[in-house]
Structure 1
Amino acid sequence: MAERSIPVVTRATALDTGTAQSGDCVRHSGVSPQHTPATKIWFGRVSNEPGHRSPPHHHGECETGGYVLKGHGRIYYGEGYKEFVDLYEGDFVFVPPFMPHVEVNMSVTDELVWLTCRTPDNIVVNFDDIPDSELQGYRRA
């Protein structure tokens, strides 16, 4: 007889930070192999405090989808992280596999919060950091 599957709820008070991280970009697992029976998806809440950012990183083989719940984010990418896209509340974004990038909160007063989904898991490959001054328009305070 096949094993019976049931829905698994992760309560807001029980989000798990025991997943790959990058600097000041904090990831909280909601649905993930870390604490649910999920094997092919990672879905969580990502936040950056005002003026905070991640170091350069990529997500390995993962395809990544994001949805901005609150705030103004920016993703820097390309040679020397000179290219960027801005994201605002209600925007979706797709980040291709193996694409080095930096995620930042463009506000120095408001938190940036987004939902992120990637397959198969939350793979994070961090690189050496770069000076803030190399990220056009970014400031911490």
Structure 2
Amino acid sequence: MGQTHVPASTNSGNHHHGSSETAIFVLSGTPLFVFLDVEGDEPIETRVQTAPGDYIFVPPFVPHREENPDPDTEAVVVIARTTQEAIVINLDGLNWSV
């Protein structure tokens, strides 16, 4: 578990966390979380806007990225994972490839 500061106007890049589940609590700012969902035959990009007090759950292997589109204010989040190591698998795009 740890606290992360996300600078204004940044994003994490596309990635997943392998077999680790990730829970996120938004302390401040308005970060945006972008996921790749599979509905039917086509993958769909889902954007979740958050605010202080919101929770986000990222299941294992789900491609996503975190964004802070606010040009002036950093976002602060608390992250808890089900693994002791911080697994990050970077992806070329928001897709299900490894």
Structure 1 residue 61: deviation in Å? 0.4
Aligned residues: 87
- Looking at both structures, which has the greater relative contact order when contacts are Cα pairs under 8 Å and sequence separation is at least 6? 2
TM-score for both structures, normalised by structure 1: 0.58
- 1:77 equivalent to 2:35? Answer yes
Q: Which structure has the greater CA radius of gyration? A: 1
RMSD (CA atoms): 1.5
Higher percent of residues as helix: 1
Distance in 1, Cα, partners of 2:26 & 2:18: 22
Q: 1:103 aligns with which of 66, 76, 87?
A: 66
Distance in 2, Cα, partners of 1:103 & 1:77: 9
Q: Which runs of 5+ in 2 are unaligned?
A: 37-42
Aligned counterpart, 1:128: 92
Distance in 1, Cα, partners of 2:64 & 2:56: 13
Question: What percent of counterpart residues are identical?
Answer: 36
Structural mapping, 1:1-141, within 5 Å: 43-78=1-36, 79=43, 82-120=45-83, 121-128=85-92
- Paired AA for residue 6 in structure 2: N
Distance in 2, Cα, partners of 1:70 & 1:113: 5
TM-score for both structures, normalised by structure 2: 0.81
Greater than 2 Å deviation, 4+ residue runs: none
Distance in 2, Cα, partners of 1:105 & 1:56: 14
Per-residue Cα deviation, 1:52-101 (whole angstroms, up to 9, x for no partner): 00110000001110000110011111137x21111110111111000000
Q: Which runs of 5+ in 1 are unaligned?
A: 1-42, 131-141
Structure 1 residue 129: deviation in Å? 5.5
